[in-house]
Amino acid sequence: MAGPSSKPTRIGLAGLAVMGQNLALNIAEKGFPISVYNRTTSKVDETVERAKAEGNLPVFGFHDPKSFVMSIQKPRVIIMLVKAGAPVDQTIKTLSAHMEKGDCIIDGGNEWYENTERREKAMAELGLLYLGMGVSGGEEGARNGPSLMPGGSFEAYKYIEDIVLKVAAQVPDSGPCVTYIGKGGSGNFVKMVHNGIEYGDMQLIAEAYDVLKSVGKLSNDELKNVFSEWNNGELQSFLIEITSHIFGVKDENGDGYLVDKVLDKTGMKGTGKWTVQQAAELSVAAPTIESSLDSRFLSGLKNERIEAAKVFKSGDILTEQEVDKQKLIDDVRQALYASKICSYAQGMNLIRAKSIEKGWELKLGELARIWKGGCIIRAIFLDRIKKAYDRNSELANLLVDPEFAKEIIERQRAWRRVVSLAIVSGISMPGMSASLAYFDSYRRERLPANLIQAQRDYFGAHTYERVDVSGSFHTEWFKIAKKM
């Protein structure tokens, strides 16, 4: 097999599907000779061929796990990019059989954080180090610079620090998009919440599109221009940019634009659902992210929606009211931005709650920094989040950072106009309205929760606290009410 003639390689990578291949080529391009392996050996040859074609990169392929492991310099480091779950356990078993004390395995997949913690413990018993590393940026990011979220053994991180600092996306003025996240499964957890935030961003963008198209009657060309203009301002981000590109793509197989031919049914792989489950576990309100997951569930009920649309046809209330297009576009931009602040506040608070529970000591500002480049949620906006946590690392909620608070106040009228317009027009806007309700609940000193607590005490003697006297109280509400 084509291996390095004498000198061992610096690192190995196992699992050569799209992400694995691209990451291997990226590592090689940054000057680190790399050994590669895949269960199905044709992918090994394919990767070596690509490495040749893309500039004779130092990628060395192996068809059997033993010679693959042996080709790497000690202490050996192997990144795995195989399907999460059982395939990871199988790959660990295959590789670790040939590894020695002090060697290290890194899982670069979207793995459930507890699996990483279990494996880290099992590896430690063999004297092996383990990292769970979130990798974001898709195919393009993996090849040219992803955002990397490594968590687990700090010693293992130190082995690979020189590599990941070069391989990660580089953002001027804020450095490479990688940092040691923390202990245990923190790298996977942070990547999971990153994906939850990504769900939220995509939902909010889809709602902006919906109201502009359905109520504002914007054409795809107009939408393309709006999103491309937005990408020059406060909303500048990868997702806004690709959205503007999507509106410009014509259907090669028919008339019109491709976006209009795409079935309105969203797929998912599970990290969004995990994020919502964790929010519930930790009692953290994350309504924007939750609404994005619910919207995907509802999108999946295409056949039911077709039937329901017939049932409610006569009650269709989408009005043909006149809207000032330019004003609507400007309002939607502001609503999108304000909603996004709420969504990120939820994601960050979820990460902080987990960090406290697990003693991870995660630095929220650093996370915002490493998401500024390489990953799917990369955005100019993340710089503002980083600065907010730099100003106050103990910030209870992004909403109350003085800069964000000012931005929300400036945008709230437009935000309320957009949500109201959607509601009266019968256009569902779950993400933006959930964000607005989150803001409206969080900013109010007094909520109607007093009534809920009174009801709980009425039927279940759950007791209540008082606003004026400390302690816990119970009232025989029923007896008093009966006497009246």
Instruction: Tell me the closest approach of the beta carbon of residue 85 to ligand 2AM, in angstroms.
Output: 9
Q: How many CB atoms lie within 10 A of CB 314?
A: 6
Q: How many CB atoms lie within 10 A of CB 467?
A: 6
**Region at 386 (left for phi over 0; alpha for psi -120 to 50; beta for the rest):** alpha
- Measured CA angle at 203 (ends 201, 206), to 5 deg: 110
Distances (CA, A) of 239 to 194, 353, 394, 448: 14, 27, 29, 37
All residues at 6 or more sequence positions from 90 whose CB lies less than 8 Å from its CB, including other chains: none
Contact status: 142 vs ligand 2AM (CB under 6 A)? no
Comparing CB distances to ligand 2AM, the nearer of 268 and 380 is 268
Instruction: Tell me the closest approach of the beta carbon of residue 438 to ligand 2AM, in angstroms.
Output: 37
Q: Out of 83, 325, 358, 387, which residue is the one contacting ligand 2AM (CB under 6 A)?
A: 83
Instruction: Tell me the closest approach of the beta carbon of residue 86 to ligand 2AM, in angstroms.
Output: 6
265/173 Cα distance (integer angstroms): 40
Instruction: Tell me the closest approach of the beta carbon of residue 91 to ligand 2AM, in angstroms.
Output: 5
Q: Show contacts with ligand 2AM in window 338-357 (CB under 6 A).
A: none
Report which secondary-structure segment, H or E, holds 77. Answer: strand 77-80
Which member of 29, 117, 120, 198 is catalytic? 198
198 catalytic per annotation: yes
Among the candidate windows 24-32, 79-87, 217-225, 439-447, which touches ligand 2AM by CB under 6 A?
A: 79-87
Q: Show contacts with ligand 2AM in window 12-31 (CB under 6 A).
A: 15-17, 20
All residues at 6 or more sequence positions from 120 whose CB lies less than 8 Å from its CB, including other chains: 130, 132, 152, 153, 184, 185
52 catalytic per annotation: no
Comparing CB distances to ligand 2AM, the nearer of 69 and 341 is 69
Q: Out of 40, 232, 283, 303, which residue is the one contacting ligand 2AM (CB under 6 A)?
A: 40
Backbone angles phi, psi at 135, to 5 degrees: -125, 120
Size of the site for ligand 2AM (CB under 6 A): 13
Comparing CB distances to ligand 2AM, the nearer of 12 and 15 is 15
Contact 208, 385 (CB under 8 A): no
Q: How many CB atoms lie within 10 A of CB 324?
A: 10
Contact 36, 16 (CB under 8 A): yes
Contact status: 38 vs ligand 2AM (CB under 6 A)? yes
All residues at 6 or more sequence positions from 245 whose CB lies less than 8 Å from its CB, including other chains: 224
Contact status: 90 vs ligand 2AM (CB under 6 A)? yes
Contact status: 96 vs ligand 2AM (CB under 6 A)? no
Comparing CB distances to ligand 2AM, the nearer of 16 and 336 is 16
329/428 Cα distance (integer angstroms): 18
Q: What is the β-pairing status of strands 59-62 and 129-136?
A: unpaired
Contact status: 417 vs ligand 2AM (CB under 6 A)? no
All residues at 6 or more sequence positions from 468 whose CB lies less than 8 Å from its CB, including other chains: none
Q: Out of 9, 22, 35, 91, which residue is the one contacting ligand 2AM (CB under 6 A)?
A: 91
Among the candidate windows 39-47, 264-272, 320-328, 397-405, which touches ligand 2AM by CB under 6 A?
A: 39-47
Instruction: Tell me the closest approach of the beta carbon of residue 37 to ligand 2AM, in angstroms.
Output: 9
Tokens 């919440």 belong to 193
Among 175, 108, 105, residue whose Cα is nearest residue 135 = 108
Which member of 43, 183, 191, 224 is catalytic? 191
DSSP secondary structure letter of residue 398: G
Comparing CB distances to ligand 2AM, the nearer of 65 and 216 is 65
Q: Show contacts with ligand 2AM in window 357-386 (CB under 6 A).
A: none
239/246 Cα distance (integer angstroms): 10
Contact status: 110 vs ligand 2AM (CB under 6 A)? no
Q: Out of 3, 4, 30, 39, which residue is the one contacting ligand 2AM (CB under 6 A)?
A: 39
Contact status: 97 vs ligand 2AM (CB under 6 A)? no
Residues forming the site for ligand 2AM (CB under 6 A): 15-17, 20, 38-40, 43, 82-83, 87, 90-91
Kindly list the catalytic residues: 191, 198
